[in-house]
Structure 1
Amino acid sequence: MKRIITVVLFSLIISSCSDSKKNAIQLEKIKSLETKIDSLNQLVESSKSTMGQIATFLTFQKDNAEQAMNFYMDLFDNSKIINLKRWEKGSPGKEGKIMHATFKLNDKLFMCSDSPAIHAWGFTPAVSNFIECKDENQIKKLFTKLSENGKVMMPLGNYGFSQNFGFVEDQFGVSWQLNLE
């Protein structure tokens, strides 16, 4: 569809304009339209890829959603930001902070925001992220990084149900269970 629009617009411009300056201006407009179409196509594809999925939503109340998101993305492979919207000037949230972000950690869907309202609740260890680690190096690395400036609730060890298991609350208050069978 994009090509059809571009060809039609280009044909109209060529046939109706003989002035090279007008052609250059029209070509710039076409390129601008192509860029906008590409952006819209990416947004549609992004919506399709997350439609119907169940996502973990993290509500941050200390304006640190972006810091947390970037911290997690550095820890996990196959991670990327899918969509990011920021609070604008005059909105309920602090300008520039995250209104809503959609991202993937190791291909699992997450969302987060910096809540302008301070709630009577926060994160709880009763709901945690469970990671089945692939090897000893991965579980040690994740345990070390996630517990840094956080809280160790169960140190790495054999608890009978697993050869190596650990439970931590990270520096942002989010809980993680790490397991190695």
Structure 2
Amino acid sequence: MNRIISLLALAIIVLSCSDSKYKNELDALRTELDSLKITSAKSENNTKGEIATFLTFQGNNAEEAMNFYIELFDNSEIIKVQRWAEGGPVEKGKIMHATFSLNGNLFMCSDSPPVHDWGFTPAVSNYIECENENKLQNLFLKLSENGKVMMPPNNYGFSTKFAFVEDRFGVSWQLNLK
């Protein structure tokens, strides 16, 4: 993005030094440059002041987990990825730091170089309000595959249908029917 902004700025300087027959092109480039500067500033600051869930993966599977979650939820995207370089503390190309959103909610993750004495715990989980039973069942099946079912979908008195699972990466999810 910064390279494009620099090239547009250079084009504006060159056209400004030319005769006035390029006035329309110059005005269009200035407008585009201003728009890109605003977009760039917004994307660089999109996580400042927000609270994000940070997932520390110790099995070098942060990217696999991130892509799995992105596929599960609508309105989800990878925002930014920084990778470990050759000679780093983990395999080249693994996630140093990534930012992504799941249905508009901000998440971050990394492949942690040290193996810690701790991991994910069900005491901290992601709570999902499902708009219908099909959505709940679909999420339950995908999240519980090769994971652990802590509470299968059922009426537990506090909800007509609720499920609690730990996915194959160790991250816990509570699924509730609205």
Q: TM-score, normalised by structure 2?
A: 0.82
Q: Secondary structure of the residue that 1:6 maps to in structure 2? A: helix
Task: For residue 92 of structure 1, report the CA deviation from its aligned partner.
Answer: 2.1
Contact between 1:88 and 1:96, CA under 8 Å: does it hold in 2? yes
Matches within 5 A, 1:1-181: 5-12=10-17, 43-181=40-178
The one-letter code matched in structure 2 to 1:81 is: I
Task: For residue 41 of structure 1, report the CA deviation from its aligned partner.
Answer: 6.5
Structure 1 residues 93 and 10, CA, compared in 2 at 3 Å: closer, same or farther?
farther
Task: For residue 112 of structure 1, report the CA deviation from its aligned partner.
Answer: 0.2
Matches of 2:16 and 2:95 in 1, distance apart?
Answer: 43
Q: TM-score, normalised by structure 1?
A: 0.81
Task: For residue 51 of structure 1, report the CA deviation from its aligned partner.
Answer: 1.3
Contact between 1:94 and 1:116, CA under 8 Å: does it hold in 2? no
**Structure-2 residue corresponding to 1:25:** none
Task: For residue 151 of structure 1, report the CA deviation from its aligned partner.
Answer: 0.3
How many pairs are equivalent?
A: 159
The one-letter code matched in structure 2 to 1:180 is: L
**Structure-2 residue corresponding to 1:29:** none
Task: For residue 171 of structure 1, report the CA deviation from its aligned partner.
Answer: 0.4
User: Residues 101-159 of structure 1: CA distance to partner in whole angstroms, max 9, x if unpaired?
Assistant: 00000000000000011001000000000001011110000000000000000000000
Structure 1 residues 113 and 4, CA, compared in 2 at 3 Å: closer, same or farther?
closer
Structure 1 residues 177 and 82, CA, compared in 2 at 3 Å: closer, same or farther?
same
Structure 1: which 5+ residue stretches go unaligned?
16-33
Q: Percent identity over the alignment? A: 62
